[in-house]
Amino acid sequence: MAGPDRTGPHTTGVVRFFPDAKPGLSVVTGRHGIVGAMNDTSPLFPPAPAPAPGPAPAPASAAPPGRRPRRGAFAASVVTASLLVGGAAGVGGAAAWDEWHPGTATDTASTSTSTSQVVSAPASAAPDGSVEQVAQQVLPSVVKIDVSGPQESGSGSGIVLSSDGKILTNNHVVEVAGSSGSIRVSFNDGTSAPAKILGTDPLTDTAVIQAQDVSGLTPATIGKSSALRVGQGVVAIGSPYGLESTVTSGIVSALDRPVAVGSDAQGNSTTYPAIQTDAAINPGNSGGPLADLAGHVVGIDASIRTSTSSATDQGGSIGLGFAIPIDEVMPIVDQMIKGETPTHARLGISVSDVANPTGTGASEGAQVQQVTPGSTGAKAGLAKGDVITKVDGHLITGADSLVATIRSYRPGDTVTVTFQHGGSSHTARLQLDSDARTTAS
């Protein structure tokens, strides 16, 4: 196999966000579990107590004026459940309050008593660097993506790249459509449009789609993931469980965390050096932005770690979310927009974790299992059994770590590789190959 693309089974509990399935009528549910009930005969929603004698209550079904139309069944279903639980809170609260707490004749009678004038406070600008400001800046550039395919349907999120509708998302969001499915994009202003796929890259789990017949969109501002520091604030925006325009915040918990979430048809690992964050990310956030507090997109929300290793019970956020660094994928995004096949850097070797001689786990480093003749790894003197421990300043802790590190470079980049050979340490400076059929290296 070309490139350090094969890894051991180190993905237990790490799942990528497959699009959420369409909900049922009585239960808000998807591929990732039940998130709310709507059956008002359930013990969760006991009948209201009988009212005390008094004037007839206001009809509970009276719709309050000015109610905004609901955009989708999924979001509306969750809102309905929350109103049933919350009682008089929110839309329809007045009717509920009247039903449960009968008033008196004086509640609605007009009087001559003067009342204080209520003056609305003027809207103030959000403080610089606040989550509120980031939300105001980034929300217009985030979309919900509904995908329907031959086998399933679901939804994810996306990032607007251009005013004419080029949108960045995850490959695993749009691959559901297959060759005969459909994709529809919903924008922050409530409008929507069909979309088609411009390009996909399973190895970085990215894709670019084109919304049809749109203009005047607000492109996101792309930042620098290389400038991130552990502990700084970040904001995630997307459509978790179909709830579009959801904003959550947290910090950068770690950088360059090797995350492996599967492989392509050739067995090459989908592994990237992830940004780890505790911002709440859930299924449906896939493809949405992770932004810094300047409102710049620094990552693409793509996977989480769960408390279960079950493939069917993937669960939700436990504060361990992972985003693909934007620096690593923008060159690939440019290739997809141009209609080119994405390319990736490679060493031309296959690796595995290092077995500990004591049999109690794995040692640090990635052990070479196979070297492709004529590759840059072969030219550098790498041989089967060698253990790679460092690439430039990056410590290599295992096979996934090496794959993720190499994926952060581009074909033709020059790196220094440190490895153990014959019981001693060696270094080699080499130019990385490309996995394109014709390489430039």
Which one of the listed residues 286, 375, 401, 434 is annotated catalytic? 286
Which one of the listed residues 5, 20, 155, 172 is annotated catalytic? 172
C-alpha–C-alpha distance, residues 165 and 157, integer Å: 14
C-alpha–C-alpha distance, residues 283 and 269, integer Å: 21
The CA-atom distances, in angstroms, between 53 and each of 46, 100, 103, 104 are 21, 12, 10, 10
What the block records as the tokens of 44 is 């969760």
Say whether 296 is catalytic.
no
Which one of the listed residues 5, 146, 201, 205 is annotated catalytic? 205
C-alpha–C-alpha distance, residues 225 and 205, integer Å: 17
354: enclosing H helix or E strand: strand 349-355
DSSP annotation of 77: H
Residues 6+ apart with CB under 8 A from 151: 176, 178
C-alpha–C-alpha distance, residues 98 and 56, integer Å: 9
Longest Cα–Cα distance of the chain, Å, equals 98
Burial class (CB in 10 A: 0-12, 13-18, 19+), 155: buried
The CA-atom distances, in angstroms, between 20 and each of 136, 172, 231, 286 are 26, 12, 31, 10
Residues 6+ apart with CB under 8 A from 285: 17, 156, 157, 236, 238, 239, 240, 246, 301, 321
C-alpha–C-alpha distance, residues 369 and 402, integer Å: 13
- The closest of 139, 151, 122 to 239, measured between CA atoms, is 139
What the block records as the tokens of 334 is 């440019």
161: enclosing H helix or E strand: none
Residues 6+ apart with CB under 8 A from 232: 251, 252, 292, 293
- The closest of 169, 165, 147 to 157, measured between CA atoms, is 169
Say whether 172 is catalytic.
yes
Residues in the chain: 441
What the block records as the tokens of 258 is 């090797």
Matching residue, tokens 């408390």: 307
Residues annotated catalytic, as ranges: 172, 205, 286
